[in-house]
Amino acid sequence: MFSTGQLYFAVFFVIIFVIGMVWSYTKDKKHRNFHYNGILKIAIILILIITVFATLTFWIHE
Protein backbone atom coordinates (compact mmCIF):
# COMPACT_ATOMS: atom_id res chain seq x y z
CA MET A 1 0.00 0.00 0.00
CA PHE A 2 0.90 3.64 -0.16
CA SER A 3 2.08 5.67 2.79
CA THR A 4 0.16 8.69 4.03
CA GLY A 5 2.72 11.06 2.53
CA GLN A 6 2.41 9.42 -0.87
CA LEU A 7 -1.37 9.69 -0.78
CA TYR A 8 -1.19 13.38 0.17
CA PHE A 9 1.28 13.99 -2.66
CA ALA A 10 -0.97 12.21 -5.17
CA VAL A 11 -4.06 14.16 -4.10
CA PHE A 12 -2.27 17.53 -4.18
CA PHE A 13 -0.63 16.67 -7.50
CA VAL A 14 -3.98 15.83 -9.12
CA ILE A 15 -5.59 18.99 -7.75
CA ILE A 16 -2.74 21.26 -8.91
CA PHE A 17 -2.59 19.49 -12.29
CA VAL A 18 -6.33 19.96 -12.91
CA ILE A 19 -6.15 23.62 -11.87
CA GLY A 20 -3.21 24.13 -14.24
CA MET A 21 -5.03 22.46 -17.11
CA VAL A 22 -8.17 24.56 -16.57
CA TRP A 23 -6.08 27.73 -16.35
CA SER A 24 -4.18 26.84 -19.53
CA TYR A 25 -7.42 25.99 -21.35
CA THR A 26 -9.09 29.29 -20.45
CA LYS A 27 -5.92 31.25 -21.28
CA ASP A 28 -5.64 29.65 -24.73
CA LYS A 29 -9.36 29.77 -25.52
CA LYS A 30 -9.21 32.79 -27.83
CA HIS A 31 -6.29 31.39 -29.85
CA ARG A 32 -7.83 27.94 -30.30
CA ASN A 33 -10.45 29.06 -32.82
CA PHE A 34 -7.81 30.70 -35.01
CA HIS A 35 -5.36 27.79 -35.06
CA TYR A 36 -7.85 24.91 -35.21
CA ASN A 37 -10.33 26.31 -37.71
CA GLY A 38 -11.70 23.47 -39.85
CA ILE A 39 -10.28 20.68 -37.70
CA LEU A 40 -13.66 18.89 -37.63
CA LYS A 41 -13.56 18.39 -41.41
CA ILE A 42 -10.03 17.01 -41.21
CA ALA A 43 -10.98 14.64 -38.38
CA ILE A 44 -13.97 13.30 -40.33
CA ILE A 45 -11.84 12.78 -43.45
CA LEU A 46 -9.18 10.99 -41.40
CA ILE A 47 -11.76 8.69 -39.80
CA LEU A 48 -13.23 7.93 -43.24
CA ILE A 49 -9.80 7.09 -44.67
CA ILE A 50 -8.99 4.77 -41.77
CA THR A 51 -12.40 3.11 -42.11
CA VAL A 52 -11.90 2.56 -45.85
CA PHE A 53 -8.43 1.09 -45.33
CA ALA A 54 -9.64 -1.19 -42.52
CA THR A 55 -12.63 -2.34 -44.59
CA LEU A 56 -10.43 -3.05 -47.61
CA THR A 57 -7.93 -4.93 -45.46
CA PHE A 58 -10.60 -7.18 -43.92
CA TRP A 59 -12.29 -7.65 -47.29
CA ILE A 60 -9.04 -8.63 -49.07
CA HIS A 61 -7.94 -11.08 -46.34
CA GLU A 62 -11.20 -13.03 -46.17
Residue 10, C-beta contacts closer than 8 angstroms, at least 6 positions apart: 2
pLDDT at 40 over 90: no
Q: What is the mean pLDDT of the chain?
A: 90
CA dist., res. 21 & res. 13, Å (int): 12
Q: Phi and psi (nearest 5°) for 60?
A: -70, -35
Mean pLDDT for 13-34 is 88
Q: Phi and psi (nearest 5°) for 37?
A: -70, 125
CA dist., res. 16 & res. 23, Å (int): 10
